[in-house]
Chains A and B, each alone.
Chain A
Amino acid sequence: MKRSLVPWTRDKFALITYVSLFRKLCAHFRKRPVHKVYTDIIQIAGDVITVEAEGIGYMDIAEITTQQGVSLAQVIRLDSKKVALQVFAGSRGISTEDKVRFLGHPMRISRSDNLLGRIFNGSGQPLDNGPALSENLGDIGGPPVNPAKRIIPNKMVRTGIPMIDVFNSLVESQKLPIFSIAGEPYNEVLARIAIQAEVDIIILGGMGLKYDDYLFFRDILEEHGSLSRAIFFMHTAADPTVECLLVPDISLAVAEYFALEGKRVLTLLTDMTNFCDSLKEISITMEQVPSNRGYPGDLYSQLAARYEKAVDFDTAGSITILAATTMPGDDVTHPVPDNTGYITEGQFYLKNKVIEPFGSLSRLKQQVNGKTRDDHRTIMNAMIQLFASYRETVEKRAMGFKMSAWDMKLLRYGGMFEEQMMSLEVNIPLEKALDLGWRIMAECFTPEETGIKRSMIEKHWPR
């Protein structure tokens, strides 16, 4: 048998293996161009530094090596050779001689099941003791969804909170903020919804969170066995401002990955007002003309780009966004809640530790509350109208007007409603809540006084 000149060409399979190996090696080197390092930092203002460099892509990521360690930064403006970067870890301690290495790609996050149960900071670095992840990297803040690929949302998310389930039903793929003043238990409400909602994955994006709040979320999810399907992106109040800006994007990029895999994802963002304040800080540093109370003119677009990631995909999963928006001074006309309200599909007002029936609104409730039980809408309307009358009576009483027999009935009803329906302690499924509604009304009123249609009364009025 004739021997081949080159021994390894004897075997066809070996040849294929070698060729593919060689190709992989080439590709490997092509993918990793030598990153030039720049040291000409010419300006440091706020958390934005300016460096002279060439051939840099807009929004690309760079690594800055300082005495304190390595921080990531992102290109936010290019002007011939001048490159402005916002430094995630803040500019404190940066020297004009520090090294800036551009990575040649925008901000990325690893997207895989390995994220589940993990905790990261705003730049995607692990905060637990687990390994850093680098598989299946994808850009954050990707392109918008084609409206033609969305479907009309139609699945209710059950929360066990009557003020939500009965009066303002939450719908899968809805984007909904909780408006409240600081100090209200909005994080408790978010956590309760998270552990009770029938979703596949929970992503928590924390912005400017107190460390205790973070521990609270972690413990409550652990207690209810939900930690293994949760992912945390944490920016605490002590962390640098710029990192806060990345939290919604990074959370939603991961949410999008899982939604496209067919998963139902619930994303909690708390507190979006801190995100807006970080935007304000950066835009002022960049000497942009502020529009309203110092906030940048593109606040609406910035918020919309995040909230609009909520989606029910045609033939894939969904993203539901629940956010907390604290209102400075309980003022709903403040730019943050105001712009948010124009973007989101309703809002829950959390006031005095209860979800206010007035002002709270779920714009999508009509899509689901006609299909739950035939008396759902009846109960919703009748009880709210009676509660509105109760509020008027309370006002009348405060002004010293005489209380009629009808007023007394209303006062009794209002008390029961507040105690048995509104209180956040109440945790019952929708059907039980509807039955409770009938019981409360039957105890306080005659059927005619409720203004409910005769056919409904005959079917549901407790006897």
Chain B
Amino acid sequence: MPEKRIGHITKINGNMVTVRMSGHVIQNEVAYIIHGQERLKSEVIRVRGDLAETQVFEDTQGLRIGGAAEFSGELLSVELGPGLLGQIFDGLQNPLPQLAQQYGFFLKRGAYLEALPDEAQWQFSPAVKKGDKLRAGEKLGTVPEKIFSHYIMAPFNLRGVLEVVSVAKQGKYNLKQPIAQLKDENGAVHQAFLQQIWPVKVPIRNYAEKLKPTEPITTKMRIIDSLFPVCLGGTYCIPGPFGSGKTVLQQLTSRHAQIDIVVIAACGERAGEVVETLRTFPELNDPRTGKPLSDRTVIICNTSSMPVAARESSVYTAVTIAEYYRQMGLNVLLLADSTSRWAQAMREMSGRLEEIPGEEAFPAYLESRIASFYERAGYVRLYDGRFGSVTIGGTVSPAGGNFEEPVTQATLKVVGAFHGLSRERSDARRYPAIDPLISWSKYRGFIDEKQVARGHQILRKSNDVAQMMKVVGEEGTSLEDYVDYLKGDFFDFVYLQQNAYDSVDESTAQERQIYIFDFIYQILEASLEFADKDQALHFFQRLRQLFRGWNSSAWDGAEFKEHEKEIKGLIKEHVEKIPRPLDAG
């Protein structure tokens, strides 16, 4: 254990506390500010001469000049091990339900609890034997955790080839009992436990190689999967003004996405939204496994009234836990809501450090911090040949809903997909309010590319005609243009929009998306014959009505087929020529 080094407070400004220190100081080490019985966690963020500037993860009320600070010599770290799934942590990985049990309604300052209970016993089955050679991050054995077989891995921080000196027999162990001894190339022997400690700001890199994200994720949101897909190991961002449905979109994704594990980082947002997730998830079942959604979810929650400095750590804690499960060959989705609050926390701290401000007073290192966070996503091949991934989706809350601001712009530079939400769409109650005209994705989805291109094209055309009609009115628009306008509007209405309150329509499986998209593609490509605009309008209004019913009928059921027949009948009345008969599809 490193020796205790003590310093004394010389300056207090908000949550920044400056400590005078005669010994050495490590950048980013954890220091505890001592105030009576309380020990407040803080992190060293700048060292100048014998002054260490620390950001305190707690309220600093009542601290005094001359008070003691104890430097721990350890970087800000998280506990990794079985028992994380289904938990609700704060930004410093304190379990919130346990805190509530001990301290009641309020979050007591300086009260920290073990993230994973020491006394819990886990059934360990070894997967290696004495004399085996392996590398850090490789499997030593497994313990069952919820629906997964949780890998116990050789400590990530060891280097080179390790030889197994001994390994524990099958049986029950707690997190602090050694389960293996490993000898490194220099002959030093290290112990391995069910639990590992890892510094949050350092990525876990124990894999063979990082690959290009190519396999699309099914989020069951049609506009995302079909038009703006995201791949395993990819990154995407959701900027939008307030009230445009960022959080609802994240909540729906966390429920329906076909993925092994979801890590939710609620960073500086409303507590009420987290409460909804943590109260409802235990009761909702994951259709893939039939088990409660909470079994595949980890929630890291630092809501807006909780200490600001812990916002930053909450984002890093979340991504570290995601990386840990990736090491087991699982696909993990990290949803961060909202990265702007994290950026604002950086801005607050930068201001207190009196750094030279960049645009809108954000610090100059904003871009590199955001970039290095998103870079922790990835699709990787592990040493044993299996694949794992961390996909990151972050919301951005731009000031005034204007995307030309530093956080949105810095994020757009590094992500693979952009789902921009617009006020116009949410005001018109077109949900999800992802604006198809400004959004983009660099990934390939599961819908045929030619069909996707046609979808984009008709949306643009429809918008052009709509703009023109505002000036010249309906009378001045040609029938052909008018039909294109209606086609785009129809596509938007029946496919891109989804009703989150309809139990069927709220999530659309991949198979169904491919089928319906192809069906709509045929309609978009068809030359339809109308006597006049009124007839065209009437046709599309009826089509829309029928599609609505179709969308809310269960896949391939009798009702589904009934609706399909009715729709085909209606189309036949107006078809001049179609690329191929609809019945052949």
Contact call B347/A291, Cβ cutoff below 8 A? yes
- A249 in the interface (beta carbon within 8 A): no
Interface residues of B in 345-381 (CB under 8 A from A): 345, 347-348, 351, 354, 357, 360-362
CB distance from B160 to the nearest CB of A (A): 44
Contacts of A145 in B (CB 8 A): 105-107, 271, 305
Contact call A148/B99, Cβ cutoff below 8 A? yes
Per-residue interface assignment for chain B, residues 99 to 115, with 1 indicating a CB less than 8 Å from any chain A CB and 0 otherwise: 11001111111000000
- State A59–B63 Cα separation when bound (angstroms): 8
CB distance from A63 to the nearest CB of B (A): 18
CB distance from B40 to the nearest CB of A (A): 12
- A376 in the interface (beta carbon within 8 A): no
Which single residue of chain B is at the shortest CB-CB distance from A358? Answer: B427
Contact call B107/A80, Cβ cutoff below 8 A? no
From the candidates A58, A77, A298, A308, name the one contacting B305 in the complex (CB within 8 A).
A308
Interface residues of A in 252-307 (CB under 8 A from B): 260, 288-292, 296-298, 300-301, 304-305
CB distance from B340 to the nearest CB of A (A): 8
Contact call B351/A288, Cβ cutoff below 8 A? yes
Contact call B65/A146, Cβ cutoff below 8 A? no
Contacts of B579 in A (CB 8 A): none
Residues of chain A at interface, number, CB under 8 A: 64
- B88 in the interface (beta carbon within 8 A): yes
Interface residues of B in 228-276 (CB under 8 A from A): 241-243, 268, 270-272, 274-276
Contact call A147/B427, Cβ cutoff below 8 A? no
If the complex has contacts A58-B60, A106-B62, A300-B344, are A341 and B303 also in contact, measured as CB distance less than 8 A? no
If the complex has contacts A54-B65, A77-B12, A300-B304, are A292 and B360 also in contact, measured as CB distance less than 8 A? yes
- State A341–B280 Cα separation when bound (angstroms): 25
Contacts of A149 in B (CB 8 A): 100, 104-105
18 CB contacts below 8 A, A to B, read A57-B62, A58-B12, A78-B63, A79-B12, A80-B11, A139-B61, A143-B107, A145-B106, A146-B103, A148-B97, A289-B351, A289-B357, A290-B361, A291-B360, A291-B362, A301-B345, A338-B242, A359-B427
Contact call A298/B348, Cβ cutoff below 8 A? yes
Which single residue of chain A is at the shortest CB-CB distance from B338? Answer: A342
Contact call A57/B361, Cβ cutoff below 8 A? no
Interface residues of B (CB under 8 A from A): 10-14, 59-66, 88, 96-97, 99-100, 103-109, 241-243, 268, 270-272, 274-276, 278-280, 301, 303-306, 308, 341, 344-345, 347-348, 351, 354, 357, 360-362, 397, 399-402, 427, 473, 501
Per-residue interface assignment for chain A, residues 425 to 442, with 1 indicating a CB less than 8 Å from any chain B CB and 0 otherwise: 000000000000000000
- State A339–B103 Cα separation when bound (angstroms): 31
The listed residue with most A CB atoms (<10 A of its CB), out of B241, B275, B427, is B275
Contacts of A424 in B (CB 8 A): none
Contact call B105/A146, Cβ cutoff below 8 A? yes
Which single residue of chain B is at the shortest CB-CB distance from A144? Answer: B305
Which single residue of chain A is at the shortest CB-CB distance from B361? Answer: A291
Contact call A301/B275, Cβ cutoff below 8 A? no
Contact call B10/A146, Cβ cutoff below 8 A? no
Contacts of B345 in A (CB 8 A): 301
Per-residue interface assignment for chain A, residues 19 to 45, with 1 indicating a CB less than 8 Å from any chain B CB and 0 otherwise: 000000000000000000000000000
Contacts of A56 in B (CB 8 A): 64-65
- State A141–B14 Cα separation when bound (angstroms): 14
The listed residue with most B CB atoms (<10 A of its CB), out of A57, A58, A298, A401, is A58
Contact call B100/A148, Cβ cutoff below 8 A? yes
- State A292–B88 Cα separation when bound (angstroms): 34
- State A296–B352 Cα separation when bound (angstroms): 11
Contact call A342/B107, Cβ cutoff below 8 A? no
Across the A-B interface, give the 7 residue pairs with the lowest CB-CB distance, nearest first: A333-B400, A304-B304, A308-B305, A341-B242, A291-B361, A78-B12, A59-B61
- State A147–B501 Cα separation when bound (angstroms): 26
- State A162–B341 Cα separation when bound (angstroms): 36
Contact call A401/B473, Cβ cutoff below 8 A? yes
Contact call A146/B275, Cβ cutoff below 8 A? no
Contacts of B109 in A (CB 8 A): 143
The listed residue with most B CB atoms (<10 A of its CB), out of A79, A147, A333, is A147
CB distance from B310 to the nearest CB of A (A): 11
Contacts of B65 in A (CB 8 A): 54-56, 78, 80-81
- State A78–B67 Cα separation when bound (angstroms): 12
- A316 in the interface (beta carbon within 8 A): yes
Which single residue of chain A is at the shortest CB-CB distance from B275? Answer: A150
Contact call B270/A308, Cβ cutoff below 8 A? yes
Contact call B105/A60, Cβ cutoff below 8 A? no
Which single residue of chain B is at the shortest CB-CB distance from A339? Answer: B399
- State A347–B275 Cα separation when bound (angstroms): 20
CB distance from A175 to the nearest CB of B (A): 9
Contacts of A343 in B (CB 8 A): 270, 304
Contacts of A153 in B (CB 8 A): 272
Contact call A342/B397, Cβ cutoff below 8 A? yes
Contact call B12/A147, Cβ cutoff below 8 A? no
Contacts of A361 in B (CB 8 A): 243
Contact call B278/A147, Cβ cutoff below 8 A? yes
- A151 in the interface (beta carbon within 8 A): yes
- A16 in the interface (beta carbon within 8 A): no
